[in-house]
Structure 1
Amino acid sequence: MSDKPILPTLLITALATAVGVGAIFHFNAVSQYQAEIVSLNEQLGEAKQAVENAKFMDDLIGDLTIVEPQPGEPGGAPDNWIFGARTARFTLIEMSDTECPYCREHFPFVKELVETSGGHINAALMHVPAHGEPSRNQAIAIECAGELGGSDAAWKYAGLVFEKTQSNGKGVAQSLASLATEIGLNNKAFSACLDSPEVVDKVRTDLEQAVKLGVQQTPSTLVLDNETGNSMVLQGSSANRDTILQTMSQLAKSKEVAQ
């Protein structure tokens, strides 16, 4: 996986400063992306309700989903900000919402698992902003942190948002740009990035991938074996230490059986 920049953001005040036809087009483009993200969130909510009504995924096996590798994309893994050794055998793709209280608890656990793995595990960020505008804005801001400071900045910024947020869609009291300053990013460049349609598009793409994977809960973790491209999705409480390690063992054994 590469450490290239990836995301987009919501434009709320752009019309006030827009000049000319080009600026108006820019505003309309971002507004369209914003509407698409809202639509995808609705799809995610409908899917979640359907699963709850059917009482699906009542045990661990129900929460494990084999993900077929996509062309040019081993295991369907997104090219997102990587925490940990890039040579790691396994990647934990964290499908998370910074306004989700459970994600807030899960985030430091994932970092600890990577840090104590001896270089065998790394992690990537994948946005599932299901708690409305605060979630979407924070996802965009994390992407901008990555754009300006790489993976290290993206993970530091995400951790800071989890630390500062009131959760459940209540958001962060201070401005997102001021959080960027706290981790040493340029305030002016960060604010400009928040108006980038490309960053908004990246958040939208993350959400689309989560919908395609059938994600019903946050946090969810896609465990990817980088050697074979095989992967499994663990949702909600199933994304715990024991199950993640068991899944890695299962993925490794699947290669042995194939041989």
Structure 2
Amino acid sequence: MKPKPPSIPMPVQAFRHRRSRKRWPWVVAAGLITLLLIWLVAHAPSESKSQAPVPISTAQVAGPPWQMGNPKGRFTLTLYADLECPFCREYFPQLKRWVGANADVALQWQHQPLAAHEPAASAEARLAECAAETDGHAAFWQAVEWVYAHTRSDGLGLPEGLRYPDLNPAVERCLASERPEALIRAQAEEATKGGVTATPSLRLHDRQTGQAILLQGPIEGDALLSAMDMLAAEDSVTSPTTEMPADVVGDMPR
């Protein structure tokens, strides 16, 4: 039996050379990927700068009229009010609670500053409109509540030197413009043409039947429910939108 020839060890250099020849395509590929990632990162900021800023949600700021409650509810309740009217100031928190307890109603505001309460009434209406123009529906109602909490009413206006806490450059620019004044005047003229002669007054509109009822004065909760029932009973095919007298009385939740 012949002895087995001894194995000859492979030179270390040759082994390393062979391994390096197998790895170089992967090294090149990794380098290309790295360069690609660096290029993408370097170009990302310039692309983002060229994009237009994201617009504010129209669902948040669309208006006026400014609303609270369920915008898809069957009934729309329009409140004609004056921010210097003491009866409006007393009535508003009650009406807000009633709307919050009735999921099928949306409350919307319509300005009707009375001549006897000027110029304070229009100045406060401009503040509410500009707050809403800047920050939407919730900001409008927040401004209304702030005015009612601080005004001396009956045309005396806000205390001297009192500053609205959410006043900012955007609101100030709006106040310096003619936009809010034109809107307030148009709403007041529309209310007068529609037969509104006092504040607060309400117009309840049934979006399903097309019927509406004008309710003068601070209307209590049971009266509003009765008006809703009456409007719901009307035939929208034979009766277009009309105004009907209110002669129902109830109790507003307090």
- Return the TM-score normalized by structure 2: 0.66
Shift of 1:170: 0.4
Q: Which has the higher contact order (CA 8 A, sep 6+)?
A: 1
Identity of aligned residues (%): 34
Q: Which of 160, 169, 186 is the equivalent residue of 2:146?
A: 160
Question: Which position in structure 2 is the counterpart of 1:95?
Answer: 80
Question: Which position in structure 2 is the counterpart of 1:244?
Answer: 224
Q: Which of 91, 111, 123 is the equivalent residue of 1:127?
A: 111
Shift of 1:121: 0.9
Structure with greater helix share of residues: 1
Shift of 1:137: 0.5
Does residue 254 of the first structure (1) align with residue 239 of the second (2)?
A: no
1:3–1:82 Cα contact (<8 Å) kept: no
Q: Which segments of 5 or more consecutive residues in structure 1 lack a partner in the other structure?
A: 7-78
Residue-pair matches, total: 179
Please list the CA deviations of residues 127-150 of structure 1 after superposition, one character each: whole Å capped at 9, or x if unmatched. Answer: 111111000111111111110111
C-alpha distance in structure 1 between counterparts of 2:130 and 2:92, whole Å: 19
Q: Which of 200, 215, 219 is the equivalent residue of 2:200?
A: 219
Superposition pairs for residues 1-259 of structure 1, below 5 Å?
A: 4=61, 79-117=64-102, 119-130=103-114, 131-174=117-160, 178-179=163-164, 181=165, 185-237=166-218, 239-255=219-235, 258=238
2:74–2:208 Cα contact (<8 Å) kept: yes
Shift of 1:240: 2.0
SS for the counterpart of 1:83 is strand
C-alpha distance in structure 2 between counterparts of 1:229 and 1:258, whole Å: 10
Please list the CA deviations of residues 71-109 of structure 1 after superposition, one character each: whole Å capped at 9, or x if unmatched. Answer: xxxxxxxx5001011111111100000111100111111
SS for the counterpart of 1:218 is coil
Question: Which position in structure 2 is the counterpart of 1:20?
Answer: none
Please list the CA deviations of residues 202-251 of structure 1 after superposition, one character each: whole Å capped at 9, or x if unmatched. Answer: 101110111101111100001111223321110114x2212211111111
Shift of 1:196: 1.8
SS for the counterpart of 1:246 is helix
C-alpha distance in structure 2 between counterparts of 1:175 and 1:81, whole Å: 28
- Mark the CA change 1:191 to 1:256 in structure 2 (over 3 Å): closer, same or farther: closer
- Residue type of the partner of 1:162? Y
Please list the CA deviations of residues 142-194 of structure 1 after superposition, one character each: whole Å capped at 9, or x if unmatched. Answer: 11111011110100110110110101000011557x32x2xxx4522211111
Shift of 1:3: 6.1
C-alpha distance in structure 2 between counterparts of 1:257 and 1:147, whole Å: 37
C-alpha distance in structure 1 between counterparts of 2:124 and 2:220, whole Å: 25
C-alpha distance in structure 2 between counterparts of 1:164 and 1:186, whole Å: 15
1:3–1:81 Cα contact (<8 Å) kept: no
Q: Which segments of 5 or more consecutive residues in structure 2 lack a partner in the other structure?
A: 1-58, 240-254
SS for the counterpart of 2:113 is coil
2:210–2:236 Cα contact (<8 Å) kept: no
1:3–1:80 Cα contact (<8 Å) kept: no
Instruction: Write out the 4+ residue segments of structure 1 that deviate beyond 2 Å after TM superposition.
Output: 2-6, 255-259
Cα RMSD for the two superposed structures = 2.1
1:97–1:127 Cα contact (<8 Å) kept: yes
More displaced stretch, 243-252 vs 161-170? 243-252
- Residue type of the partner of 1:252? A
